[in-house]
Amino acid sequence: MPVYDLDGKVVKEITLPAAFMHDLEPEIIRRAVLSIQSARRQKKGVKPEAGMKVAEYRGRRALPAQNRGINVEHARLPRLKNRGSLLASRVGNVPQAVGGRAAHPPKVEKIIFEKINKKEKKKALISAIAYTKELEHVSKRHKIKKGLALPVVVENSIEGLRKTKEIVDLFSKIGLLEDIEYAKEKTKKRSGKGKMKGRRLKKKKSLLLVTSKECPVYKAARNLVGVDIVPVRKLNAEVLAPGGQPGRLTMWSEDAIKKVSEWLK
């Protein structure tokens, strides 16, 4: 696999780790992505006593007619009490009554997380890594230069870049800038009320840059639309396969490639 320098020239060749030769298993990747996404969901539910404190059913025949709910030509339902003449005998508590409880409200005890075995999760990660070298799948979701060898590996000096201009120049020389510009063009305002909830824009995913550790290049590339930067140890199936669709355009530093073999051996 060719290794590029900061001028976009091939300086040497390396052998990819065994993780890049793993079987392609999209079903397991999709399952792992759903598990990661479900773990971010927040449980929600109503207060158990909501709408249940306003009425009571009085079914004893011994009570006076005005105080009981039986044998008075009324449906046998809980009714408001001590409400004066205007609200006397009005039904409460039950779902079909005004101000009553909800019929089938959301409950916090509902299981909303998709569980996944550790071995399945690791297998999904390795399979997603293997997809990054498949030109057929990567070209379906990204615009890349014809004849580009995948995955893109760059020498370790990329981790020391501090300016956005420098990283953009590198992407341009290797032939990755077209996809980043396309992601910027596809950015659009979200329709509906989502704009008021911190999700004003919809952005397309573009290049993923994998480094050996957190380094200065994070500040250089963080403002580029669609570009994500992660250290090797924080890789997961969702980062490599956004939306459960594998084949993300990925750039690796040379040290990141070495750490993959050590981490997933």
pLDDT at 174 over 80: yes
pLDDT at 155 over 90: yes
Provide the b/e sequence for 231-264 (b: ≥16 CB within 10 Å). Answer: bbeebbbbbbbbebbbbbbbbbbbbbbbbbeeeb
Distance from C-alpha of 58 to C-alpha of 81, rounded to nearest angstrom: 10
Calculate what percentage of the chain has a pLDDT beyond 70: 97
Q: Is 194 a domain residue?
A: yes
Q: Is 213 a domain residue?
A: yes
Q: Is 168 a domain residue?
A: yes
Region 32-40 average pLDDT: 95
Calculate what percentage of the chain has a pLDDT beyond 90: 73
pLDDT, tens digit (0-9, with 9 covering 90-100), for 131-147: 999 999 999 999 998 88
- Helix axis angle for 164-174 and 177-185, nearest 10°, is 110
pLDDT at 53 over 80: no
pLDDT, tens digit (0-9, with 9 covering 90-100), for 205-257: 999 999 999 999 999 998 999 999 999 999 999 999 999 999 999 999 999 99
Q: Is 233 a domain residue?
A: yes
- Return the half-sphere exposure (C-beta side, CA atoms, 13 A cut-off) of residue 178: 10
Instruction: Identify the helix (H) or strand (E) that includes residue 188.
Output: strand 188-189
Q: Is 216 a domain residue?
A: yes
* Radius of gyration of the chain from its Cα atoms, rounded to whole angstroms: 30
Residue 248 · residue 179 · CB < 8 Å? no
pTM of the model: 0.83
Structure tokens at 242: 């956004």
Q: Is 167 a domain residue?
A: yes
Based on the structure, what is the number of domains in the chain? 1
CATH code for the domain in which residue 134 is found: 3.40.1370.10
pLDDT, tens digit (0-9, with 9 covering 90-100), for 73-104: 888 899 887 666 666 678 889 999 988 899 99
Q: Is 55 a domain residue?
A: no
Lowest mean pLDDT among 17-31, 89-103, 114-128, 150-164: 89-103
Residue 93 · residue 54 · CB < 8 Å? yes
Region 52-58 average pLDDT: 83
- What sections of the chain are H helices per DSSP? 26-39, 84-87, 118-131, 135-141, 164-174, 177-185, 217-221, 237-240, 254-263
Q: Which amino acid is at 210?
A: V
Q: Is 28 a domain residue?
A: no
pLDDT at 52 over 70: yes
Contacts of 200 (CB under 8 A, 6+ apart): 189, 190, 194
Query: Which range of residues forms the domain containing residue 212?
Result: 2-18+130-263
- Residue 111 pLDDT class (50, 70, 90 cuts): very high
Structure tokens at 22: 């793993």
Q: What is the pLDDT of residue 66?
A: 74
What is residue 160's three-state secondary structure? helix
